[in-house]
Structure 1
Amino acid sequence: MPLYNYQCDGCGHHLEALQKISEPALVECPACNAQSLRKQVANAGFRLSGNGWYETDFKTGSKKNLAGEKAD
């Protein structure tokens, strides 16, 4: 489940909430009970770099090149 950041427009309180993607956004601030929570945009906790993931990245020995081998 993703971790979302929220900030209250009324009192400035910050919080993080672990929610399913399908759950509605939180609106009530737990600090001041106002209906003024706003979801913030946050950076992802990981970064994907390079050209991509390949079938051979996590394989060893004779299983390294399954896509390029022809059946005998």
Structure 2
Amino acid sequence: MTKETVKGPASYFPSIEAKYGRPIAEWKALIRAQSGKKHMELVAWLKEEHGMGHGHANALVADTLRE
């Protein structure tokens, strides 16, 4: 058996939860509540308001908007 490796934005999720102390579902709900903002506006918001790094913010926004 081979262990399936998580790829793409979701590969960041364990470290996001560990570093910022919220489950991914909560971060996604916060992103969805920012209606009308574009991808990079949401990334900037996460960085400015929540102190998130660019890669983590970008991964969360990309995965949330993909849904």
Report if TM-score (shorter chain) is over 0.5. Answer: no
Question: TM-score normalized by structure 1?
Answer: 0.27
* Greater helix proportion: 2
Question: TM-score normalized by structure 2?
Answer: 0.28
> Quick one: higher RCO (CA 8 Å, sep 6+), 1 or 2?
2
* Greater strand proportion: 1
Q: Whose radius of gyration is greater, 1 or 2?
A: 1
